[in-house]
Structure 1
Amino acid sequence: MFSGMLFIFSPLVIGYLFSIENKLLLERLNKTTSWLILVILSLMGLSLAALDNFGSNLQTILTMTVTFFIVIGLCNLAFLPLIDRVMPLETESRHSKLPISSMALESLKLILVVGAGLFAGLMLPIGLSWVETASEWILILLLFFIGIQLRNSGLTLKQIIVNKQGIMIASVIVSSSLLGGALSAIFLGLPIFQGLAMASGFGWYSLAGILMGDAFGPVFGGASFMIELLRELVALVFIPLFIRSRPCTAIGYAGATAMDFTLPVIQSTGGVRCVPVAIVSGFILSILVPVLMLFFVSLAG
């Protein structure tokens, strides 16, 4: 299992070695990555359709999703407010409205992609033996592109080290999420390392679901995808409500999405002072998702 995880992790490392100056090329790469995510999520739906006893497996997915989501979320919210007390972050008084509903729809459409794959697998007379192999090869290509994106995100090591609040938020999210993952595993009767792997998504729903599905099968992949997608949807509502009184807590709950998807909400409701903190914390968490997840997967195997 460990050698298999290294084989999957290596494209991410190789991709990170590429520094690209051409903005047009980076834009095309970002679009290609988005399309690959949609393709592999549809394959996730097909793999769910190939499961025996689909009804009981669906119940298992929902049980795992609810348990991990609630326990990890409570652990995050128990420790994140400490950062607001020890290292308070000033926000701006202005308030801007964003089409949060349309942003939520962007997340919900991914559920429709998985659902479309599931429907096609259940209703169409097609063989599904090829799905697992196709998913693995697309995952390798996807990780390569993600490595390039992380390298060319614009953050230098100095910018990360200087921003102590961003580092502290990421550290608290990692430690509290892993605590929640371990507790969830105990509640569900799962191996601890499986629970720790499931807790290492930090809001990156597409990659988390793909990696968990490749490692432990479509049930874990589907649950991981739903856990992190729920986190993002709740963050879209949570951030505007609490960023004035608990800015570090609001930024931290957004997880890895603080550097991209939820960043406009953070900026518009908390002001520009929140932006560097959000980008640094989100970047660190994004880097750690594949690292920690593949590490715990290798231990679980």
Structure 2
Amino acid sequence: MFSGLLIVLLPLIGGYLLRVRSPRLLELINRGVSASVYLILLLMGVSLAGLENLAGQLSTLGGSTLVLFSITMVFNLAALGWLSRRLTLKAGASNVVENAPTSKLAAIKGSLLLLVTVVLGVVLGLLLAPLWGRELFTTADLLAEWALYALLVLIGCQLRNSGMALKQILLNRLGLAIAATLAASSLLAGLAAAPLLSLTPFEGLAMASGFGWYSLSAILIGDQLGPLLGGVAFFNDLARELLAFVLIPLIIHRHAPLAIGVGGATSMDFTLPVIQQHGGVACVPVAVVSGFILSLLSPPLILFFLSL
């Protein structure tokens, strides 16, 4: 029952046990994470190209993503809004952060590039399918799985060398509260969306457990429930990141916990520069802790719910 869980957790734990002191090696690890994400998404696009009646399936994918994302955001924003009224965090003045996005369009550009990568994968799959047949899609799934294992090792290494000690994480009450609120409200949204998507409750919970980690949720869900639902999980989590880029500058000074939490697991990496730029340094440790916890929760939760 838990073999799939162990297969995913072992690379993550193995990477976490690696202590890296060389800045150059850390830079290579960061680049490896980025490259692995793009490779996984390209291969996911190839798998989507293998769907029967692709046009009709893509329409279903879009509708299902809209349902799941809308319900998830309603639950997340309500829960995080409630938390923001109970626990306050004052955002500081905007800081000039090296390489930080200077506009919402610049921040969103990276997310749009991920979307383009998936589309390129679909086009590549359609072009190569007449030459390779169904073996192309089987090979793409296998390569995506191994790329995910490599990504998990690198992510684990990043988490270990992020500069956040376990004591700092456990003592950051607001970061813990944001992560717990985001996770709980997302799971409730998954339960609410499940019947509308013709899914079992446990499948709905699994679909909602990505918390913004789109490369992970796309592969794990796609492997168990098929490329169509893997695509729904990916676009649902990617849409979270896109919305976060838009909302963070608008609300972080009035509702900092809400602004940090809406990005889910991405608050420790992709949306962190925007949080730091518009919220100040006081928001950074809270965002990193929240994203760190959600990143650790996502793989075991997805596989646990899929195994039930």
More displaced, 2-11 or 100-109?
A: 2-11
Specify the alignment match of 2:70 in structure 1: 70
Question: Any runs of at least 4 consecutive aligned residues in structure 1 with deviations exceeding 6 A, and if so which?
Answer: none
User: How far does residue 6 in structure 1 lie from its aligned partner after superposition?
Assistant: 2.3
What is the number of residues matched between the two proteins?
299
User: How far does residue 214 in structure 1 lie from its aligned partner after superposition?
Assistant: 2.1
State the secondary structure of the residue aligned to 2:194: helix
More displaced, 118-127 or 285-294?
A: 118-127
Mapped partners of 1:8, 1:93: distance in 2: 40
User: How far does residue 187 in structure 1 lie from its aligned partner after superposition?
Assistant: 1.8
Specify the alignment match of 1:255 in structure 2: 264
Structure 1, residues 148-184: CA drift from partner, whole Å, max 9, x if none?
Answer: 1222221111111221111100010000000001101
Structure 1, residues 217-243: CA drift from partner, whole Å, max 9, x if none?
Answer: 211111111111111011111011111
Structure 1, residues 94-146: CA drift from partner, whole Å, max 9, x if none?
Answer: 57782321221111111111111101111333321322222222222222222
Does the CA-based 8 Å contact 1:150-1:287 persist in structure 2? no
Specify the alignment match of 1:112 in structure 2: 116
User: How far does residue 63 in structure 1 lie from its aligned partner after superposition?
Assistant: 1.8
Does the CA-based 8 Å contact 1:91-1:270 persist in structure 2? yes
Mapped partners of 2:38, 2:13: distance in 1: 23
Structure 1, residues 2-55: CA drift from partner, whole Å, max 9, x if none?
Answer: 323422332122222212111211111111221122112111111111111212
Specify the alignment match of 1:177 in structure 2: 186
Which residue type is aligned with residue 173 of structure 2?
K
User: How far does residue 60 in structure 1 lie from its aligned partner after superposition?
Assistant: 2.0
Question: Quick check: 1:287 aligned with 2:296?
Answer: yes
Which residue type is aligned with residue 228 of structure 2?
V
State the secondary structure of the residue aligned to 2:108: helix
Which residue type is aligned with residue 265 of structure 1?
V
Mapped partners of 2:106, 2:157: distance in 1: 28
Mapped partners of 1:291, 1:161: distance in 2: 19
Which residue type is aligned with residue 2 of structure 1?
F
Q: CA RMSD in A?
A: 1.6
Q: Following superposition of structure 1 onto structure 2, how do residues 96-245 of structure 1 map, counting pairs within 5 Å?
A: 98-124=102-128, 125-127=130-132, 128=136, 129-245=138-254
Mapped partners of 1:99, 1:242: distance in 2: 15
Instruction: Indicate the percent of aligned positions where both proteins have the same amino acid.
Output: 48
| TM-score normalised over the length of structure 1 | 0.94
Question: Runs of 5+ in structure 1 lacking a partner?
Answer: none
